[in-house]
Structure 1
């Protein structure tokens, strides 16, 4: 029985469809990608003094914040890509969202990236100040839970984000990169009201890296573009009603074989407005040093010291002073799983302006280690925190 020519052609076409589908699938996967990533981090924790009592408890997000995210890119050709990131923080002890009502509280942005011209992104984002200076500062080496400067008042940990923001990041010019970010206030009739701004620059040359950054926060209590701000610690909650705040920070580090040493500095200013509960500008200066040493391929230890001093202002003649020392030891079971130990001690002296009821008051400064004890500060001048935990990345 003879087969018609049309039937034979149909058979050839049908037999080639699986191959064509495979080739199209390969081409599509080469041009675009979406990556699911995340971290789960829990630890046994001891604090010597939390509001007057010692405490042994489980804590989460210590070495790194517990989170999951989606990171995507589509190759548009000519060195240009469409990119996006959606990142959500969660409590890995209870499963609750880190920020109620915000499923992607950490980051949510979309943009375009070009190898030659740089990257533009729109959405909820970390500041260039954090991305560049924070990466070289205390929390870029030591964890923010116990290594951040007291109360993270300078935003070098992950507590500062801009909503409704546009960010430009440059390509790498022989080791030099820079970025600028503007958070739109969204106030009808005024572009400036409620807006925020950040800029930073970083330089890398062989084993040396340095960065400097700037942040200007306006209309702190009403701004629609200020995604989050650390004002819940007794270090700086007396200035939560500030009209504006300015942060300037710099950091540098040098690596030689298995040893890394670094220094960092930050200056934070709180400026009052007509509705503020304090009268004169307050300034905090912080000086820090960090070091790490890799003993073997899977064992590393780090140490950090910081000294923070407030200015004489708002009736305080003996301003707050904070000494903090932080230690970190990690043991990598694999590329994704790490056992860790963290220890930190802080000593506070002088007087602070603190939130008190519906107003503010002058009180003895109390210790608040890193960024993990903001809501559970010591009732006195000292606090020790120790942690033993496990972090798994996926």
Structure 2
């Protein structure tokens, strides 16, 4: 009888220990589905009414988890894959978790260290406050700065990267990243590094950051380190750059239900011995944006102006004026309806080359700059100076 009682007690104790261990670790599955219908006035010469997806946010599913290691330290991980909600296809061929795949440790006092495929510090901070992040109905599909060449929307996803995030210290938080190129015999080939500093405390938020992208080959799009590098009619003539550098800042202030903000960036492409252009190309962007909360309705507007430098034989530098409006209605905590309208006017000339994913880009030619709204039209620019789009969609999170 005593043995039965002792056995029962041991089983209860084991169950209690198991429950405690389970309480100290967790894994969460999450996801988002975003689908809509868009009208675009000019896609390579023709208007189009089409189904679109990932407009407000990219459709995705993922797993995130943590385990308490004691002493305020946790092991953490995230695995996140994108998909096409219209066809069910993978977001990127060859990647099960194309959006994020990293593991690391987090400590309340010392910060967080992660390694894998990750967004840049610049994206988490400058991009988050650029008017395309939380608190705004605008979206990169229609509202990213022309071609998203400054990466404030989808941002770069960097392979082989290690990132440190400091703890929040009186509203300040710093991030730094370094990514190995993985080329034997040349530790500097294809490496990427960047850093950012963000302040968020009360109604004011601000951030500054940079990305430095080095290219050992003839095409930035073929780099083993980069993912989601934005190429469009705005910058396609510079994919053979030896390196690309992005410096940006964003700031916003909340006046109760009203939010106003500004953002700006400087993007440069430096030629090397194998580049198909000869002079450094620079694109400067300045933008303003606002949002207003009215019950379940969130209204927003943004304006961005981008101008390139006169270089590589161009005497009339490319410039882009873009206006975006957005309306977001929350039907519930998980379901939202959104509407977007955007117009862009391009001027001047730019260096253009057809985008390719591998090998050497086509020889760039000087041509009139054409409109390409946000980053939703990167592969379908206008055939002329103007482009207009209107989108209606629905988004559900789980």
TM over 0.5: yes
Structure 1 residue 21: deviation in Å?
Answer: 5.0
Corresponding residue for residue 372 of structure 1: 376
1:129-144 matches, within 5 Å, as: 129-140=122-133, 141=136, 142-144=138-140
**Partner residue of 1:34 out of 24, 27, 30:** 27
Indicate which of 296, 299, 302 corresponds to 2:300.
302
Counterpart position of 1:345: 343
Q: Does 1:255 pair with 2:254? A: yes
Q: RMSD of the TM alignment (CA)?
A: 1.3
Q: Which residue of 2 aligns with 1:264?
A: 263
Match of 2:17, SS state, is: helix
Offset of 1:222 from its aligned partner? 5.6
CA contact (8 A) 1:138 1:148 kept: no
Rounded to whole Å, the distance in 2 between the matches of 1:392 and 1:75 is 31
Q: Is the 8 A contact 1:179 1:199 kept in 2?
A: yes
1:283-314 CA distance string (max 9 Å, x none) = 00000001000011x11101010000000000
Match of 2:320 in 1: 322
CA distance in 2, matches of 1:187, 1:266: 30
8 Å Cα contact 1:138-1:144 kept in structure 2 = no
1:78 to 46, 71, 79: 71
User: Residue 116 of structure 1 aligns with which residue?
Assistant: 109
**Hey, what does 2:230 align to over in structure 1?**
230
* Larger Rg belongs to: 1
Match of 2:169, SS state, is coil
CA contact (8 A) 1:194 1:222 kept: no
Q: Which residue of 1 aligns with 2:44?
A: 51
Assess, with a 3 A threshold, how the Cα gap between structure 1 residues 33 and 132 changes in structure 2: closer, same or farther. same
Where do 5+ consecutive residues of structure 1 fail to align? 1-7
What are the Cα deviations for residues 152-209 of structure 1, in whole angstroms up to 9, with x where unaligned? 0101111411110110000011111001000101222332222110100001231101
| Contact kept? 1:195, 1:223, Cα under 8 Å | no
How far apart in 1 are the matches of 2:391 and 2:11? 55
Paired residues, number: 385
5+ residue gaps in structure 2?
355-360
Deviations along 1:216-267, one digit per CA (max 9) or x if unpaired, are 0001356432233112x10111111111001000000000110000000000
Q: How does 1:67-216 map to 2 (within 5 A)?
A: 67-140=60-133, 141=136, 142-216=138-212
Q: Give TM-score, length-normalised by structure 2.
A: 0.94
Give 1:28 shift. 2.1
